[in-house]
Structure 1
């Protein structure tokens, strides 16, 4: 089945600057995926990882988190799978480079409060730079972290943006799969 994705106009994209979109969350998720911040395409559509070329949705499926490839318009279906989406910084921008270190630090503190309230089994921050800045962990690497928030294990995964040339889709999916297998095996602390 082929879906035709909604394409915001240039005016809608411009109007999305500095807006926010709702998180897709619930208490006790298996994994709470955390983007850096929503892009303008997401701001205009109200959907996470909405820009064509973003590899979040394909990687989620290729890693085995979803039984089929979902699209941004199906983001609410993640909740039934024990998955959710939030962001380090809520403000939409054209590029993550527009965010300040202070926004990352404040966003990190707000993320900790959100995780403590929702108690997911794992928090997966999608972007090593965002994690390093938000949590003052300049030497962090992709993968599981020693950092735990309450009973929630923290992972850092590659940023799925099409602009991230360091990882192919298969490479991103492999990192997602490692997290999925660890959560399925009960690796690390988490809510019971």
Structure 2
């Protein structure tokens, strides 16, 4: 992967990154918002320390480890990616409470339109902020959006030291099993 300069990363601030979506997915993964590396490259979960792609493979959701630049291949496995908040920032703590709430409303509309079996929000804090559910924990939720079930996954950011790649992969695998039935 090409190394980007700090100026190139900063130039990606507020840039929008297209979703990787289709109707009727098994799972629509939902990140918090694009980071600057994602916005600069146009590839979701592109930051080198992010564990999304390795965990997705370790969980058995993809037959091989995909690179962020291969994100379109997810559609062939019935998987997609979107975000709670569309605008790119260096850190999620740059987002406002209103952006999370509005992101939850926009996401709900998107999910009703696309009709995935499962919406998988990666990050319990983002899920709580977007949907006003302060008691949510990692795992399947009672909430449905249209006909879609909701699952909260651990945040795959390298900063999330509470979860190892192996324990995250176990949770992703639980979702994969549920989505296949």
Using structure 1 for the length normalisation, give the TM-score: 0.93
Asked if the contact 1:49–1:56 (Cα under 8 Å) also holds between the matched residues in 2, the reply is yes
Asked if the contact 1:121–1:151 (Cα under 8 Å) also holds between the matched residues in 2, the reply is yes
Instruction: Provide the rounded CA distance (Å) in 2 between the counterparts of 1:55 and 1:132.
Output: 21
Instruction: Provide the rounded CA distance (Å) in 2 between the counterparts of 1:171 and 1:97.
Output: 25
**Paired residues, number:** 181
4+ residue runs of structure 1 moved beyond 3 angstroms? none
Quote the offset at 1:95 in angstroms: 0.4
Quote the offset at 1:7 in angstroms: 2.1
Pick aligned residue for 2:164 from 159, 164, 168: 168
Residue 69 of structure 2: aligned partner: 73
Quote the offset at 1:6 in angstroms: 2.2
Residue 29 of structure 1: aligned partner: 25
Pick aligned residue for 1:46 from 24, 39, 42: 42
Q: Are 2:60 and 1:64 equivalent residues in the alignment?
A: yes
Instruction: Provide the rounded CA distance (Å) in 2 between the counterparts of 1:38 and 1:6.
Output: 18
Instruction: Provide the rounded CA distance (Å) in 2 between the counterparts of 1:163 and 1:84.
Output: 23
Segments of structure 2 that go 5 or more residues without pairing to the other structure are none
Instruction: Provide the rounded CA distance (Å) in 2 between the counterparts of 1:46 and 1:9.
Output: 16
Q: Are 2:96 and 1:100 equivalent residues in the alignment?
A: yes
Pick aligned residue for 1:132 from 104, 115, 128: 128
Segments of structure 1 that go 5 or more residues without pairing to the other structure are 186-192
**Corresponding residue SS for 2:81:** strand
Render the CA deviation track for 1:129-178: whole Å, top value 9, x for unaligned: 00001000000000000000011000000000000111001111111000
Using structure 2 for the length normalisation, give the TM-score: 0.99
